[in-house]
Structure 1
Amino acid sequence: MKQTILGAGGAIGIELAKALTEYTSDIRLVSRNPKKVNLTDSLFPADLTKREDVFKAVADSHITYVAIGFPYKTSTWKETWVPFIQNVVDACLEHNSKLVFFDNVYAIGGNNVNRITENSPISPTSKKGEIRAEVDRIILKNMEKNNLQAIIARSPDFFGGTARQSSVLMNLVYDNLVKNKKAQWFCNSKVVHSMGYVPELAKGTAMLGNTTEAYNQIWNLPTDPQRITGQEWITLFASELGKENKFTVLPNWIVKGFGLIVPVMKELAEMNYQYDRDYYFDSTKFNSYFNFTPISHAVAVKQAIEQLKDNTEITTR
């Protein structure tokens, strides 16, 4: 039973490839320059912005997972996301492949992020959120009208695995603390901010994809239900690293100002509604259905740091 990962070279794709070995040894990894994660993986180089490459990549796949991450730039997202997902949906329908879309929660905005469930309304309050909302609507529409067998598997911000450059938590907290600098946080460190642990998110995605009854639904991927603030995240990292627990808070006007000289800050500024109020990701549906207990935040932080240390030792030998 061939299971294909589109965007196999990113943090989620790599961990997903590991998790899928519990269900199949026939795994196809698709990206511009795919590399094996497991010995039995098959590699399929492709430019996934091209419709013909998407169709070739999906052919013969029993399940197609979308784990791609396009460059974090609104203009790029406008050009790529909607055509890409439409091509994927069309390819899955033509080749009779199930679709599992690893999604974020950008389509949910404003105070709806105070508690994010599968029933939270699509309510984007950012340009990137509007794009992701359109992506979700394309999938949902094809579930309803064209008998697409699909799952939207949502994730909050994440860390762990190989997710370093793409993780705000690792960039603002871990990277600064290991350099004996003050950690940083956006907007308000005293409000709740959920984070997912990449290996668990990938495991949950694999579980959903291989559960027939899970299809034609939205699922929030497994995340520790403990409500934890930005300040408490910093404390966990500082304690595990043995560093001084000091940090600074970057107000939104500073983030916007930095955007004039640091492009990624300009892209992050519109997402600050996720940091100036409680942002809580509720995975009760998944946890209850699968009788699953997510790894605790403290253990996830410990494992993430240990993995980075192991990788550093390997690359410096």
Structure 2
Amino acid sequence: MATNTFRFLVLGGTGSIGYAFTQELLRHQEQVTLLVRNKQKAQKLFADWPALQLIEGDAQGGELLKKLGAEATHIFHGINYPYEKWQNNMERVTQNIIEAAAINKATIFFPGNIYPFGLVDVITEKTPPKPTTKKGAIRAKLEQMLQQAAAQGKCRVINLRMPDFWGPNVMNEGIAPVFKGALTGKPMPWLYRNNIPHQLIYTPDAAHAYYELAKLQPQEPYTEYNYAGEVVPSIKEWQAQIAAAAGTEPKHKLFPGWLFKLMGLFSPVMREISEMGYLWQNTILLNDDKLRQTLPNLQRTPMKQAIMETLEWHRGVRELKLKS
């Protein structure tokens, strides 16, 4: 049942983590407002929920965001842009979110990632940021902005840092083709190396962690937690599990690093991916002892079940496309 005291404004609700968080909130009958650029797309994703309000607009529009923020107790910052559009856009929208949260001193939920730390083996909440890439520097700046706003009393911030997302409606080019390939018996792609351990998080699990954190009274204006998700022995082995669940033979396809460097000479998108190559060439792990102590009853969805749920979601999308 809903708490009746929360009012959530979700930004980026048609994206991977925003979608999962919105579904979690709706299951608990929470009042949710989604600011979306494409209302029709959102309606297809969420169907009819009495507790869901869809508003069409852009989070770059500061005045609209302030109007919605004035009604919210929590603002979920799920806004993301393609790599090549991060510069300026991510900072501007984060500043807008801070200003919107300041009206009602709302809590901002921020999905952190591992980019601010460069190449390190293990990341804890005490690991200092040392970005080695442009996008790492941008992410570090966003966190700095949020930390400063919280310290000034404008809002509270909960930064839940996570590894690579996967799950229903995770449609990025790193993850979606793996599940599409498994369903159709086509090659399942990956970048750089598929034979080393890799940390991933199932988005419904991350969404549940956010909701549990929302129910706690934060002690500090800015709180950071890592959520480690699950470490698969290798992407190749994980893909084989997915193919087996889909009833197909696993076919692996690996894109080597030199290809992105070469294509980066002509394509800004490929240049951006090449810069982040260390993420797929190495195993970088988040330590989530702090979150486990805070939420001792937090459970992960069993891998087999999570794979089946994700395949089912992609199967549904595929069937809709075939019918239309």
Q: Tell me by how many angstroms 1:250 deviates.
A: 2.3
1:231 is paired with a residue whose SS is helix
- Given the superposition, is the C-alpha separation of residues 118 and 55 from structure 1 closer, same or farther in structure 2, using an over 3 Å criterion? same
Who is 1:99 aligned against?
Answer: 108
In structure 2, runs of 5+ residues without a counterpart are 1-5
Deviations 1:83-136 (A, max 9, x none): 2112211221233212111232222211x2x22332332121211111111000
CA distance in structure 2 between the aligned counterparts of 1:297 and 1:262, rounded to whole angstroms? 36
In structure 1, runs of 5+ residues without a counterpart are none
**Residues 227-306 of structure 1: pairs in structure 2 closer than 5 A:** 227-260=232-265, 264-290=269-295, 291-306=297-312
Matched-pair contact (CA < 8 Å) for 1:151–1:214: no
- Letter aligned with residue 64 of structure 2: D
* From 60, 79, 85, the counterpart of 2:94: 85
- Aligned CA RMSD, in angstroms, stands at 2.4
Deviations 1:179-234 (A, max 9, x none): 4333332222222211111211222222222321376211123613x443222222
1:168 maps onto 2:186 in alignment: no
Who is 1:46 aligned against?
Answer: 57
Query: What is the total number of aligned residue pairs between the two structures?
Result: 310
1:9 is paired with a residue whose SS is coil
Compare the two structures and name the one with the higher strand fraction. Answer: 2
* From 158, 162, 183, the counterpart of 1:155: 162
Who is 2:192 aligned against?
Answer: 187
Query: What is the TM-score of this pair, normalised by structure 1?
Result: 0.88
2:145 is paired with a residue whose SS is helix
CA distance in structure 1 between the aligned counterparts of 2:140 and 2:28, rounded to whole angstroms? 31
Matched-pair contact (CA < 8 Å) for 1:158–1:167: no
1:30 maps onto 2:39 in alignment: no
Q: Tell me by how many angstroms 1:261 deviates.
A: 5.8
Identical positions, percent? 24
CA distance in structure 2 between the aligned counterparts of 1:245 and 1:43, rounded to whole angstroms? 40
Q: Tell me by how many angstroms 1:264 deviates.
A: 3.7
1:17 maps onto 2:17 in alignment: no
Q: Tell me by how many angstroms 1:78 deviates.
A: 0.9
Matched-pair contact (CA < 8 Å) for 1:64–1:97: yes
CA distance in structure 2 between the aligned counterparts of 1:181 and 1:24, rounded to whole angstroms? 40
Q: Tell me by how many angstroms 1:150 deviates.
A: 1.1
CA distance in structure 1 between the aligned counterparts of 2:91 and 2:266, rounded to whole angstroms? 29
Query: What is the TM-score of this pair, normalised by structure 2?
Result: 0.86
- Letter aligned with residue 35 of structure 2: V
- Letter aligned with residue 217 of structure 1: T
